[in-house]
Amino acid sequence: MYYFFKYATFENSDRDISSNTMQDTWKVIVNPNAGSGRGGREWDEISNLLNAAGIKFSSSVSRFKYNSIDLVKEAWLEGYRKFIAVGGDGTIHEVVSGIMSMDRSDPDVTLAVIPVGTGNDWGREWGVTTDHKMAVDLIAKGHTRVQDLAEVHSSRNGKDNTRFMVNIGGLGFDANVCFKVDGYKDEGKTGSSLYVRGLLRAFFGYTNKRFKVDVDGETLYEGPVFSTAFGIGKYSGGGMIQTPEALPDDGLLEITVIKKIPKLKVIFSIKKLYSGDIYTIKQVIHTKGRHVHVESFPSAKVEVDGEAVGFSPATVDMIPQALRIIVP
CA distance 43 to 30: 8
Under 8 Å CB-to-CB from 207, ≥6 apart: which residues? none
Q: Please indicate, yes or no, if residue 251 is contained in any of the structural domains.
A: yes
Cβ–Cβ contacts within 10 Å for residue 143, how many?
Answer: 14
Which of 105, 121, 141 marks a domain boundary? Answer: 141
Is 134 found in the same domain as 184?
no
- What is the rounded average pLDDT of the residues 11-25? 52
* 97 and 241 within one domain: no
DSSP secondary structure code for residue 279 in this structure: G
**Are the beta carbons of 252 and 290 closer than 8 angstroms?**
yes
Query: Is the pLDDT confidence value at 255 over 90?
Result: yes
Decide if pLDDT at 160 tops 50: yes
The DSSP string of 183-196 is HHHHTT--STTHHH
The pLDDT of residue 269 is: 86
Question: Alpha carbon of 142 to those of 46, 58, 112, 136: distances in Å?
Answer: 17, 18, 9, 10
Q: Which domain holds residue 206?
A: 149-321
Q: Mark 288-321 as b/e (b = at least 16 C-beta within 10 Å).
A: bbbebbbbbeeebbbbbbbbbbbbbbbbbbbbbb
Q: Which pTM value belongs to this model?
A: 0.87
What is the spatial distance between Cα 321 and Cα 271, in angstroms, rounded to a whole number?
A: 33
One domain, residues 272 and 179: yes
In terms of domains, do 74 and 202 share one? no
Of 151-155, 168-172, 193-197, the least confident: 193-197
For residue 93, tell me if it sits in a domain: yes
- The CA-based dihedral angle spanning residues 306, 163, 29, 102, taken in that order and rounded to the nearest 10 degrees: 170
Quote the CA–CA distance of 324 and 53 in Å, as a whole number.
Answer: 21
CATH number for the domain harbouring residue 116: 3.40.50.10330
Residue 107 lies in a domain: yes
Q: Is residue 247 part of a domain?
A: yes
Q: Say what percent of the chain tops pLDDT 90.
A: 67
CB 249 within 8 A of CB 321: yes
Please give the residue that has the higher pLDDT: either 10 or 254: 254
Do 62 and 103 fall within a single domain? yes
The answer to whether residues 118 and 187 belong to one domain is: no
Mean pLDDT confidence for 74-87: 96
CA 103 to chain centre: 21
In terms of domains, do 156 and 283 share one?
yes
Q: Does residue 311 share a domain with residue 166?
A: yes
Give the other-Cβ count within 10 Å of 179's Cβ.
18
End of a domain among 141, 168, 193?
A: 141
Same domain, yes or no: 124 and 160: no
Indicate which CATH number applies to the domain containing 272.
2.60.200.40
pLDDT of res. 253: 98
* pLDDT, position 5: 30
Domain count, the chain: 2
Does 328 fall in a domain? no
Residue 263 and residue 154 share a domain: yes
Determine the pLDDT at residue 174.
Answer: 80
**Arithmetic mean of pLDDT over the chain:** 87
Collapsing DSSP to helix, strand or coil, 175 comes out as helix
Residue 327 lies inside a defined structural domain of this protein: no
Does residue 129 form part of some domain? Answer: yes
In this prediction, residues 303-318 reach a mean pLDDT of 94
pLDDT at 241 exceeding the cut of 90: yes
Shared domain check, 167 and 254: yes
Do 119 and 180 fall into the same domain?
A: no
- Residue 298, preceding peptide bond in cis (omega within 30° of 0): yes
Domain membership of residue 1 (yes or no) is no
Alpha-carbon gap, residue 182 to 189, rounded angstroms = 10
What angle, rounded to 10 degrees, do the helices at 132-141 and 43-52 form?
40
Task: Decide which of 80, 109, 141 is a domain's last residue.
Answer: 141
Please give the Cα distance from 30 to 32 (Å, whole number): 6
